[in-house]
A and B are shown apart, each in its own frame.
Chain A
Amino acid sequence: MTVTTPAISVKHLTVILDDQTIIDDISFDVPRGQTTAIIGPNGAGKSVLVKSILGLLPSQHGTVQILGTDHKHYRKIANQVSYIPQSIEVDKNFPLTVRGLFLLKSPQRFGMSSVEEQRMNTLLKLVSMTKATTDRLNTLSGGQIQRVLLAYSLVNKPTILILDEPAAGIDISGQETIYALLQRIQEQRKLTLLLISHELDVVMRYANQVLCLNKKLLCAGLPREVLSNELLTEMYGQPVGHFKHNHA
């Protein structure tokens, strides 16, 4: 593996579920230390693509390499990758506190070490959730849960962070907070960020690369260069009114 090896390399990936082609022969690279956003309409296969990259779906056609390792051997590099699924629903009776969640990531048989405890506090401070340590997850708002999960995902100091619609179900101000936080963390830690997003403004502002997906890969490149109203209309099947497109 050389320094120039992409963080994620997808070649001719086809995903068929229940005899339906969800992803149709797509290839792309996710460069290291940058933010790549996946956009597309509902049912375009965005979440399936992410799950397929992580090897969470049955074997598919094509190859996926993460940090130079075939995703079939995902467990070897799992410690370098963190994934936050789309809006985790916490049952109101599930007795898990924020600290309890962090405990589950500790390799200690019981509890966690003082170093791990310190790291948890640092990360919760990073996402402004220090006061929530003893709160049950089901008492937190969607935005607060996402921030806790973001802190949780950084425990093992990953090099790749994959997020499936991190701001889904969160109000506008909460969305801004999440994306600003992500950008800050990405820049500070030189993380490779791969995220699914519906917010085109956010993609324009934060992403170094955008992947337009609707079963097939319709575009890949710098958002300002590849996104056009024509492409978005083709992809979403209707004009995307609020899209502010400014060519650099």
Chain B
Amino acid sequence: MMLELLLFPFFQRALITGLILGVLMAVLGVFVVLRRMSFFADAIGHSALTGIALGLLLKTDPFFAALVFALLVAAGIALLRHYSHLHLDTLLGVFFPAAVALGVIIVQLTPGFQTDLVSFLFGDILTVSNVDIVTSIIIAIVVGVILVTSGKRLLLITFNEALARSQGIAVPRYELLFLLMLAAVIAISIKLVGIILITAMIVIPAATAQNLTRSMSSMIGVSVAVSLIAVLVGMLSSALLSLPSGPTVVLVGATLFATSFLVARLRSA
């Protein structure tokens, strides 16, 4: 049954895209968790709803519209953060509901959108196309190059911003770069996991790794491993048991997190 499943082109597409995005979400998730930015990831995910709705209203590819909208929201938040004295969570507290409110109103104005709403909110592997695989690979290459060339600087900024600035690192530029990377990965992952659960797939692998590891490199490695297991087991289970893909992947991840939590407690006891 499982082998048969792997022969289906739709499942192959979803699995390939899921594994690529799983690695990206896991690595970026380490930065999100260490910088306590899960609220930002949530805001970007939810603002993508508005992008999807706008795309449908304007009769363009809704996921491309979501990608563009998520990038614009990320850039907007980064700029506001730079020029405002307000904290990031305060800015997100304004952006987040405003974007969702706009999305809901556009949903009401868009005929036929409501029928697809569940797949947008919770993910649907049937919607993953060859174009999504190519897009995921392109984003993976871009993010990979940025992380290889700037990863150490991003980690130093994560550790201590003042220390990073004093070493001549252009912190606002790297922050913008990070937020754009995160927004791109979130927008492209919505088809698989859905708007509601996207934050979980970014936070859970990194949080699980944080329970088990003591160095930065091992945290990244374990986060990637947890994400890949969650995607693989979750997607296979969802297809075999006819469950929605996003929630199943997230539940597998949450189970791994709970296990890591218990292991960490036992270790420290």
Contact = CB atoms under 8 A, between A and B. Distances in A.
Nearest to A83: B166
6 contacts: A96-B215, A97-B214, A104-B156, A104-B159, A106-B152, A109-B149
Interface of B: 34, 85, 148-149, 152, 155-156, 159-160, 162-163, 165-168, 170, 210, 213-219
B203 to A, nearest CB: 13
B166 A81 contact: yes
A47 to B, nearest CB: 10
Given A51-B162, A104-B152, 19 more contacts: A54-B165, A56-B166, A78-B167, A78-B168, A79-B168, A81-B166, A83-B162, A83-B166, A94-B159, A95-B210, A95-B213, A96-B159, A96-B216, A97-B214, A97-B216, A104-B155, A105-B156, A109-B149, A136-B214
Interface string A21-40: 00000000000000000000
A93 B33 CA distance: 10
A83 to B, nearest CB: 4
Contacts of B210: 93, 95
Contacts of A206: none
A1 interface: no
Nearest to A47: B162
Nearest to A93: B210
Nearest to B33: A93
B160 A85 contact: yes
Interface of B is mostly: helix
Given A95-B214, A104-B156, A74 B168 contact: yes
A97 B215 contact: yes
Nearest to A106: B152
Contacts of B167: 78, 105
Q: Give chain A's interface residue range (CB within 8 Å of chain B).
A: 20 to 34
A93 B260 CA distance: 14
Contacts of B155: 104
B163 to A, nearest CB: 6
A10 interface: no
Given A18-B85, A104-B159, A136-B214, A95 B219 contact: yes
A231 to B, nearest CB: 31
Contacts of B152: 103-104, 106
A81 B216 CA distance: 26
Interface in A67-114: 74-75, 78-79, 81-85, 88, 91, 93-97, 100-101, 103-106, 109
Q: Which of B149, B155, B210, B215 has its CB near the most chain A CB atoms (within 10 A)?
A: B215
Given A95-B216, A109-B148, A75 B159 contact: no
Interface in A184-242: none
Contacts of B34: 91, 94
B84 to A, nearest CB: 12
B159 A101 contact: yes
Given A93-B210, A100-B215, A109-B149, A88 B166 contact: no
Contacts of B163: 83-85, 88
A84 B149 CA distance: 25
Contacts of B214: 95, 97, 136
- 6 smallest beta-carbon distances between A and B, as pairs: A78-B168, A83-B166, A75-B168, A85-B162, A104-B156, A95-B219
A54 B216 contact: no
A138 to B, nearest CB: 10
B3 to A, nearest CB: 38
